[in-house]
Each structure stands twice: as structure tokens, then as C-alpha cells.
Amino acid sequence: MKFLITGITGFAGPHLANLLLEKGHEVHGVVRAANGRETDLLDIISNSNLQQIKFHYLDLKNFFSVDKLFKAEDYDGVFHLAAQSHPPTSFMDPILTWDENVNASVNIITALQGSETKLMFCSTSEVYGDACKDVGRLSTDMPLTPSNPYGTSKAAIDLYMQERTSNGFLKGFVTRAFSHTGPRRGRIFSISSDAAQIAAMEKGMQKPILKIGNLKTERVVIDVRDCVNAYYLLMIAEESNGKVFNVCGDKINKMQKYTDLLIEHSKFEYDEVEQRIHEPYYRPIDIQVQLGDSTSLREITNWEPSIDISTTMKDLLDYWRKKLN
């Protein structure tokens, strides 16, 4: 099968590309400009795998470029991962967030209407806002009540996808990914920030003072490699068309747990690292609890997270150790 990944130079994109290539599929990726950035993927993708990927250089916000690509190439499926995905950034630049997340997505949806290509739109658990504190486990049939511009931008396309597929204009489905991390996660995200700082401490580049945000919030965090496996299994499942899926695990922890695991995997004793609140790392509106119901995903695909979160933390820390060399 032949697949296109938007956001292939982001966080989850390279992991998904690896999985698709391992399964024997043809992989294409969208890159904004021919500036050599695709070689940055070598921290996740082997050189031999990288040579197998066909890159297309275009701005997804330009409809004519998007339309031209889909007229030139026939894909079995498109994984639309490209986005401005950082909630704090969405408060600082809502215009950029809307442009990247809504306008670009509308272009892809419009260009694919009437085709046989199946589109996966990567939405987010942020579309639920802080509803978990009132209802407990979040299900996909709940109203969308986002509490930040990022979640709002994703909710807009989430709903648009549902309308387009239910009215027969498009083949596709929506994934609402909950928290996931692993190698290549940007350091602006809390767990990866902790890992990058600890790696810097080990190399003597930073004093053993860990700048942290709100570690009292509760999240179910899974490995990015488990997350993209769910995307793939849903893409190849006929029953996924027109539906919405939560992609999440079941084991909820306070964010403190993930920080503690990173310190356990470091060369430091726990009390050798001072954890100090850093105000910029707090969200203006912080969602306290996120716990989703992924029953429909599991029923259709038999998916289960396979990577222990402690292993994920170790791999993330190892990633930053290599990155800071």
C-alpha cells in the first residue's frame, strides 16, 4: 500500500514512517521546504529507510499545491499529523495555530473529497477540555469543550471530518490522541523538557536543578511507538471509516511519576536533583485530569500498548543524551 504522512519531520511522523516501512509499504512525506531538514530524521530513521521515502516539498496552507500533489499521486491512505501542537504556544499565537491546524486541514480534506484515499485526521484529547474532572473517563460521544486555542482548532476539524465522512464526501476517520512521548519529543513539552535537562545535568551543562511545571496534574502517557501503531491499525481496518477513536492507555499517574522515572534512569540519586517550579512552564489554563476510553479502538484492532512507560522514559533520556553530544 502507498501512504502519505504530513508532519513527517515532526515528532510522531518518523516513528510512523519506520513502522510503515517495516510493514513493506511505500511511504511519502510532506516537507515544507527543500532545505535539507529531512536529514534531521536520521535520529529516528536509518539512512537506508530514509532513502526509501519520497519527499514532497510544499506548504499545506496553499490549496493549489495540495491539490496538485493529490492529482499527481494516488494514495491508499493519508496520515495527517502536521500541526502546531503545543497548547501554551496557541495562547501566544492563536492566528498561527488556526492557520496551521485549520486552514491546512481544510485544504487536504477538500483536495481528497470524492477520492478513494482514506484520510486519518490526528485530533487530540485537548478537545475535551477539563471535562474529565466532572465525568470521569472521556468517551468519543461526549460534547467537545476545549479550553485552549490549540484544542479549539483541532475540534473544528474534528467536527468537519465527521460531517464530511457522514455525508459521504470523504473516506476517513479521526484519532484523538492522549498524552504520548518518546524519542524525538520536543523539549517544549514537559516530560521531554525534564529528560533534556537531566541529560544536560549528566554532561555538566546544567546545575542539578530541574525546572518543572505543574506535576500534580494527572495523565495517561503512552509511548509514541504504540500510538502510531494504533494509527496504522485503524488505517487498514475497514470498520474505522467515518468514526472517531480515543488513542490512550489505562494507567493514569500524576506527572510527578514520569519525572521520578527519568531521575531513576539517570546517574543521579533522587535527592541529588532539586526540583524547582518554573512559572513559564505552567499553562494559563491547566487541564487537571485526562483519562480516556479507548474501547472502540481496542475492539476494532485488538490494539494494546506494548511498551512499558519506564522503558519509554529510559529511551527518551537516552535520546537526549545522544542529542546533546
Residues with Cβ within 8 Å of 208's Cβ and at least 6 positions away in sequence, in order, are 201, 268, 272, 273, 274
Task: Kindly state whether residue 156 falls inside one of the protein's structural domains.
Answer: yes
Instruction: Please give the tally of structural domains in the chain.
Output: 1
> Which residue range forms the structural domain that includes residue 58?
2-182+221-248
* The dihedral sign for the CA sequence 181, 187, 189, 191: positive
The answer to whether 4 and 30 are in contact (CB under 8 A) is yes
Report pLDDT digits (tens) over 174-224.
999 999 999 999 998 999 999 999 999 999 999 999 999 899 999 999 999
Average pLDDT of span 146-160: 96
Confidence label for 283 from pLDDT (cuts 50, 70 and 90): low
Distances (CA, A) of 129 to 135, 152, 210, 269, 302: 12, 9, 28, 37, 28
Report pLDDT digits (tens) over 4-58.
999 999 999 999 999 999 999 999 999 987 666 788 899 999 999 999 999 999 9
Least reliable range by pLDDT among 26-40, 274-288, 295-309:
274-288
Query: Nearest-CA neighbor of 12 among 33, 25, 29?
Result: 29
Task: Kindly state whether residue 297 falls inside one of the protein's structural domains.
Answer: no
Collapsing DSSP states into helix, strand and coil, what is residue 210? strand
Query: Which pTM was predicted?
Result: 0.95
Task: Kindly state whether residue 308 falls inside one of the protein's structural domains.
Answer: no
Task: Kindly state whether residue 169 falls inside one of the protein's structural domains.
Answer: yes
* The dihedral sign for the CA sequence 99, 245, 307, 212: positive
| Burial label, 320 (beta-carbon count in 10 A; 0-12, 13-18, 19+) | buried
Task: Kindly state whether residue 67 falls inside one of the protein's structural domains.
Answer: yes
Tell me the residue length of the chain: 325
Task: Kindly state whether residue 278 falls inside one of the protein's structural domains.
Answer: no
CATH code of the domain covering residue 22 = 3.40.50.720
The answer to whether 274 and 209 are in contact (CB under 8 A) is yes
